[in-house]
């Protein structure tokens, strides 16, 4: 069962609607960032010719200033506007720094300004269609080009596969190339579809995770209520779980099945796979017993030590919603390299 799509889809549809009406749109993209910058690589905002906005590049006074610049540029007749004299803008978040953004949170970010015209509608539509169908796609923006490449569809130049997340290269103040893999950057594989899984799906569906949920119980009411997972699959037995969950450097695994024995089965089947994160739900006592049992059965300690068990940050969570917060926080810390 396939459900939600990438949150970026609405942005590309906003742009496509404007271009289809013969209007220009200014696309702002955070090409790179560092430190405590509020805008991270890949953040996007579109500014319509009537000044309407969609998306965000980090917020605050910096965003207000860049939006005002965009609106001023778009308000001019095309003959007067000419080209963008500064297609890339470095924003430094320090009070007295050169290129100060007006913010004092430290860090910096580089923002691309790309004018999209009705002639770019086909490329924008290709991006929206790929996201809607959850197909591989890659975006390339340069000083000269704007294009979208899809696997099995249009492929330009030598780049026939989607890029790994994003890259940004510059050769001068006006010459640059930004490439980005469109769609979800991370995949969450959730084994077990109970109340905690439902709460976790709802929380992480608002973030950059494509959620795959597996359970061996048909007609489970919490699965019927789950409108947040992107894919839900009922499998006959957890003995076959390794056949449907692949390794991946951006793959996150959460195990929260009905009980001890099924948790043990899933761990055994997936222990040799490589994940960015591997966590198992359960009390401290249950997890200690489970890990000891697996060690006694000869499973390697170095692989068992990679498992987050008990799962989640220790915030004394009680309800499914609180447990979901603790798990999501731990996953985000791992994703952002704040912990292993």
The pLDDT of residue 338 is 55
pLDDT band of 4, cuts 50, 70, 90 = low
CA atoms of 267 and 328, how far apart (whole Å): 20
pLDDT of res. 38: 72
Query: For residue 85, what pLDDT is reported?
Result: 58
Each residue's pLDDT tens digit, 224-253 = 999 999 999 999 999 999 999 999 999 999
Confidence of residue 337 (pLDDT cuts 50, 70, 90): confident
Compare 336 and 84 and report the one with higher pLDDT. Answer: 336
Bin 134: left if φ > 0, else alpha if -120 < ψ < 50, else beta.
Answer: left
- Write down all domains in the chain, each with its CATH number in brackets: 9-181 (no CATH), 186-335 (3.40.50.720)
What are the helix and strand counts (H, E) for the chain? 10, 14
Distance of alpha carbon 236 from alpha carbon 240, whole angstroms: 8
The residue among 258, 328, 306 whose CA lies nearest residue 286 is 258
Which of the four pLDDT bands, split at 50, 70 and 90, describes residue 340? low
- pLDDT of residue 57 exceeding 50: yes
DSSP state, residue 307:
S
pLDDT tens sequence across 191-200: 999 999 999 9
The answer to whether the peptide bond before residue 310 is cis (omega within 30 degrees of 0) is yes
What is the DSSP secondary structure assignment for residue 308, as one 8-state letter?
B
Q: What's the rounded mean pLDDT across residues 36-45?
A: 81
Write down the pLDDT at residue 29: 93
- Predicted confidence band at 94 (pLDDT cuts at 50, 70, 90)? low
């Amino acid at each position: 069962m396939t459900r939600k799509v990438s949150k970026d889809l609405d942005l590309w549809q906003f742009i496509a609607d404007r271009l289809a009406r013969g209007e220009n749109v200014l696309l702002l993209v955070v090409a790179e960032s560092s430190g405590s910058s509020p805008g991270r690589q890949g953040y996007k905002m579109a500014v319509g010719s009537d000044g309407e906005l969609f998306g965000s590049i980090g917020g605050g006074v910096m965003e207000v200033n860049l939006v005002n610049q965009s609106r001023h540029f778009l308000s001019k007749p095309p003959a007067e506007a000419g080209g963008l004299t500064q297609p890339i803008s470095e924003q430094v978040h320090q009070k007295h720094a050169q290129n100060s953004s007006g913010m004092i949170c430290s860090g910096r970010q580089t923002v691309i300004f790309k004018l999209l015209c009705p002639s770019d509608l086909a490329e924008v539509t290709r991006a929206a269609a790929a996201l809607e169908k959850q197909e591989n796609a890659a975006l390339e923006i340069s000083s000269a080009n704007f294009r979208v490449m899809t696997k099995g569809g249009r492929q330009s130049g030598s780049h026939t596969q989607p890029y790994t997340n994003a890259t940004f290269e510059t050769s001068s103040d006006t010459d640059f190339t930004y490439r980005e893999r469109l769609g979800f950057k991370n995949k969450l594989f959730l084994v077990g579809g109970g109340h905690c899984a439902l709460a976790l799906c709802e929380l992480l569906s608002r973030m950059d995770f494509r959620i795959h949920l597996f359970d061996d119980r048909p007609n489970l009411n919490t699965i019927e209520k789950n409108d947040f997972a992107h894919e839900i699959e009922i499998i006959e037995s957890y003995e076959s779980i390794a056949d449907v969950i692949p390794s991946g450097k951006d793959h996150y695994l959460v195990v929260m099945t009905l009980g001890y024995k099924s948790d043990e089965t899933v761990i055994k089947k997936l222990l040799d796979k490589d994940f960015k994160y591997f966590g198992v739900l359960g009390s401290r006592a249950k997890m200690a017993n489970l890990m000891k049992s697996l060690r006694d059965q000869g499973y390697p300690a170095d692989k068992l030590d990679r498992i987050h068990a008990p799962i989640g940050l220790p915030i004394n969570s009680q309800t499914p919603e609180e447990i979901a917060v603790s798990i999501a926080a731990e996953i985000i810390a791992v994703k952002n390299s704040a912990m292993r």
